[in-house]
Amino acid sequence: MCSTPKTNLAAATPKVPFRSFMASMTLAQRQQFAEVANRADERRKIREDRLKGQSNNKNAASTSNTTGNQNMPLMKKLLQFCKQHIVI
């Protein structure tokens, strides 16, 4: 015999059947919802990639023995590249 207690009451079923909030939307509303959700997902992915890149750059800067090229602004990098590779 099992010693677990048993209830005498049947499980109460909800009186109103469950409907998802998407079921009550029109097609246009669902499309608008999907567009907003997709934009939010894209922003979230960009933010996560940017945060991963920042943590990777911090790790790379602390472990590498470079002359500071990683912290150099883009215009200075471009000018340095032009001086090295383009003959005027």
Sorted by sequence, the CB contacts under 8 Å of residue 81 that are 6+ apart come out as none
Which residue shows structure tokens 């005498």? 8
> What whole-number distance in Å separates Cα of residue 5 and Cα of residue 34?
47
> Helix (H, G, I), strand (E, B), or coil: what is residue 48?
helix
Is 0.85 surpassed by the pTM of this model?
A: no
pLDDT at 88: 52
Cβ atoms of 57 and 70 closer than 8 Å: yes
pLDDT at 35: 93
pLDDT at 4: 72
pLDDT at 34: 92
pLDDT at 65: 46
**For 24-57, what is each residue's pLDDT tens digit?**
889 999 999 999 999 999 999 999 999 888 777 7
